[in-house]
Structure 1
Amino acid sequence: MEQQVKILAVDDRYENLLALNSILASPHYDVIGLQSGEEALRYLLKESADHIAVILMDVQMPGLSGFETVELIKQRKACQDIPIIFLTALSTSIEHVLKGYHVGSIDYLFKPVHPEMLRKKVDAFVNMHLNHQKIKLQSELLQKRTLDLEETNRKLAEAEEKLKQQNVLLENWVEERTSELVDAHQKLLKSQEHFKKMFMLSPSLMAIRRLPDLTYLEINESWKQYTGYGDEIIGTSMDLLRTEQGEPMKCDEVIHNLKVRYETKSKEMRTALMSTEIIDIENESCMLQVAVDITESLRFEAEMARLAQLNLVGEMAAGIAHEIRNPMTTIRGFLQLFRENDGRMQKQYIPIMLEELDRANEIITEYLSLAKNKQSHQHPDQINRIIEMLLPLIQAEAVMSGKHVQYQMMDCPVIQLDDKEIRQLILNMCMNGLEAMSIGGKLRIETYREPEHVVLLIGDEGTGIDEHHLEKLGRPFFTTKDEGTGLGLAICYSIAARHQASIEVQSSPKGTTFYIRFPVLVDGADS
């Protein structure tokens, strides 16, 4: 479809624009009515001037006059060649006509405009515009063809030059190719020699086996040293690999760092990390097996773990001794006093002694609650129900210390819980959070559902936990308080472990948040 030629009609009176549109009505023209000089300038800034054949401009308009508008239009390079016809009904003086021509108009018509004359003038300018567009297009095509021809000539020249260079190169190709083949052969021999040295001298156990029967083609010195087998195994398909349970296994696929066991010639079972790759040797598919013996490393790690456990036991023993020694010292002092007073004991001392004994018993009871094998009576339950029962107690404790409790409990599915242990966990963590905050602080308690977990969130607005203390959280007898046994949080971790739950801690100077994630029952139903 042929694109319409645009004609801009600028007049502040709408009826004049309707009249112009009626006079110039044509399927080939798109008459665009604009009611001010400012509107005309905005239109020309946004639209391309290539399709505008002529502008019909009223002289007298509020705001920018027609003369001022045309002066601004002509300052824009893209619009300098657009013909402009002034239309006016006010002044027919020669001064105004000359001013119109001076600012850049092509013609100057007086209203009322003769329709046929205006139509003829516009048609003439449109034809001039179309011819100009054709000439411009032909000029662009001619310029493009000229450039294409120049590019073709340049390519022909380059091709001719390349042909000469190729003729020169072709004369020396045979000699250079022969030299390259000789160098490549020498490099291949060196590469094979390097690979042979790396293979034979590698500290890892290495063997090359033919696929698919896994016949041994080559083994290195480390393989011989660790397994005890020598060249007698070459040509056989004996497999020394065993599973971690000691069952024979056939390693005929690509693996990376798989933990395996292997049997030596002396029937010793050792452990290694095995990796395999499929390689081609003389167009034959082979398996390269590389194993790193970690037997001694595992023994060392086991010994280090044992020593770490002994160290932890020592720390716990020291903690118990420290915590129990205080009440025992008190009781011993009173018993000494009792002996020195010929068996007479003042009644007010007896409650103190009983209180100290109860304190020692409480420490021992809390310590025993850390045991992993402690019996836990778990049954399907709602964690929200337990929190709702404890909320009055937690809120009362918060009010007494000038703090606040915020809670939000989402719908959560039933999970396996020990009611008594979960109460202890929630109370311990909430009391710790309240103690960590100053007056006005807020304790957050939330529950929500994750795809595979029910999450209990307990957060405070305290000063946070030092980074070097975070890794010690949950360790028995570790505490940052001036008073306390350091068993409260350790008991929480033990309770979580008996519920197969995990505890994640996020701490900053703005507070500490604990996330306790309980596994969802496989057949549990949402509440």
Structure 2
Amino acid sequence: MPVHIIVMVELISSDEILHPASGKLLDDDEIIVIVDDSPEIVVLLQAYLKKHNLRSTPARSAAELFELITTYHVALVLLDIGLPDRDGTEILSELTENYPDLGVIMVTSTTDIHVALDCLRRGADDYLTKPVNIELFYHSVTQTLKKRRLAIENRMFQQELQLNNLRTLFLHHLNLKINSVYLDARELNKVLQAILIGITSNEGLKFNRAFLALFDAEETLLKGELAIGPGNHQEAQKVWDEIQVKDLKLQDLFSYIGTSLAGKDVIVNEIVRSLAIPAENSSHPLVHACRSRKSILVEHGAAAVDIPAELIATLGEDSFVIVPLYSPRRALGVIIADNFVTKQPIQKTDVEALELLAGQASLAIEHSTLYADMQAKINELELVTLELEESKDLLVEAERYAALGQMSAQLVHAIRNPITSIGGTSRLLSKRFDDEKARKFLDVLIKETEKVEATLNDLFSFVSEYEPQKSVQPLFPLIRRSVMLFYTIMKRQQITYSLDFYGADPLIEMDSEKIRQVFLHLIRNGIEAMPDGGTLTLSSYQDNSSVVVSISDTGGGVSDGELEHVTDPFYTTKIYGTGMGLTLVDQILGQHEASFALIPNDDRGTTATITFNNMAAT
């Protein structure tokens, strides 16, 4: 009886045998290929496989088999040895070498044990001889498919385990970088680049693109800062080509990032820099994610919150995930990731892994912010020390001049009236005496009196009035330097001070030395008004036409009656005061077309205000 008739009998006689369900042995796009030049056998095997929900297709030659392999996802080959164009054992060797995930069962009429062993050595999963026992055939097919699926899943698990190990190692290096280096702006940028590459790398989270947006220092604007990934489909894999050539791993990225990546990903960085959302726009998904501290998954333009069409148009993608960056103190920004090229759906596990990296990014940003704050405090202390060192001689000289000014004013005040009387009387007597000898003595007295008056005038002009040497200069540094001169005195008297300067540093046309004298006088007055401690506050605000500087103390204050005379020469409320300080202030500010006022505070103390012309208005 012909072989194919025997096979037919075997199959028909076994139709009543019950078999367990085949289960999910094939994926939806996978098939089994029956390679045999006998149409009757192919028809019977196809019918049996179809009965058990196993899709199959025939191939009558080796050429047809390889064409099917390149066209379809072939899971299993039922291979006959005797084919018209090639020997089945040669085909077997080629299949096992080039397609390791392919299952191969030899179904042949050759019963030679040596041939069977040779096929198994070449990689065949089983060897069945015709006529085929149907139960043995079904068992061999299902076991081969199960073994194949287990092998594929095992390899996938190993790859996933390896990827998880690489990610863990990357996070370890990331933590070491964050915890072992003070993150200035440059170092922070490198860490953030590494995180974005970790998000988009094949060894990382495998997203196609990643965008970073951060709040500005005032937390008023959420602005795009950095992005990595192809800007269009033609640029896909450009980022990784160079890295793969150098065989770099994730943990090597910190030494690689910098100039080597400069100028790359121009398109995505243009996209991210176009993102600018006001912080007050709480309904925008990027701001909403920050404020709520919850991730938002957008699928085909739909999400738990409304997604603006402009955002989708800007990104050029309608499926992406938004993950917030935040610290215990404040919201920091967001990371946006998508699969712009592959269009792979974003899974929940992808979002969770991205949230893990976002936590590291948040830690790095907060670390950098704290470092910047600390550095600012150090710089301020260094500035105080430098100012004190450079200005201690100037302060001593200023105090000496102040003492000399006190003495000069007291001398002028005490001597001017008697000398004026002596001089006037001498001139009057000189006109009435005819005695030449007496007039000679009176002339001497008149001349010497004039000398004393001239000396007193020179002494009165101790603070000489010269033409101011004006130039356009920033105002705030001058105020800071003036305050620093009194740092030690304020500390000794337990006086705290604050500088509340807002907005851009105003430019003022001024003689810096004369305006410095103004601030020194007013700051000294405020300190002297608080012998038992208090608070000295220097603040500034500006509008289109003027710049106003206020110096406020918490001392005893000045009465309304005293305010009327504060700029009068020699008027003073101090026991040893000269009464010339505020007169000089008023005089200098007049030379600068500026105004000056003293205002009593509502609770206690006094506020001195100086109003300059705003150069920005001109």
Question: When the two structures are superposed, what TM-score results if normalisation uses the length of structure 1?
Answer: 0.31
TM-score (ref. length: structure 2)? 0.27
